[in-house]
Structure formats: structure tokens, C-alpha cells
Amino acid sequence: MSRTFNQTILKKDANGNVIQNSFYTDMTFRGDYTGTNIIYRGYARPGAAEGSNVWQIAKLAYDGSNNLISVKWPQDANGAPSSEFDFNWTGRAGYTYA
């Protein structure tokens, strides 16, 4: 099941520092669920196509009691985990996460 929400995200400068008192209030959120647990989460600017490489995606893992135990990021072209907005939502299951 996939869901869409608007989510408030802190704005960051070019060095990754949070800009105080500023927010991205128009981020699109996608979630892919198994039962009640979200397995993949994705953020992009409003209007972004799900097949465009403009998504930040993460894969979440849970223990046997449904407690979140890890958040993993897709690997970039160099094989390093990346939280950049360089991935596409439709390809989320095909990425390697670390």
C-alpha cells in the first residue's frame, strides 16, 4: 500500500546545516507499507514524478515486536549509502540498501 502526505522538513544550506526558523512545508511523502509497518519512505518536491531521480528514499527494518531497529539508505553509483535526493520512487525495491 502506498500513501501520500505533506510533511514539514527542515531546510538546509549547501553545507548541510539546518537553517534556523525555516522549513520545507511542501515535501511530498510516499510510504510503502507491509501491514502496519512502513518499509520504504520517500520524500521529494511536490509534483515530482515517481520515476524521476529526485527522491530521497530509506528502507526501514523492524524486530519481531515491530520495533524499528534500522534505517538504511540506497547505495549511490560509488556503492556508498546515500540520503541524497538522487533516486526514484518506482525503483525503490531494486536498490541495494546499506
Burial class (CB in 10 A: 0-12, 13-18, 19+), 89: buried
Domain positions in the chain are 2-94
What pLDDT does 4 receive? 47
DSSP letter, residue 1? -
Three-state DSSP at 72 gives strand
Label residue 13 by pLDDT band (50, 70, 90): low
**Which long-range contacts does 77-82 make (Cβ < 8 Å, 24+ apart)?**
none
Residue 18 has pLDDT above 60, yes or no: yes
Determine if the pTM surpasses 0.85. Answer: no
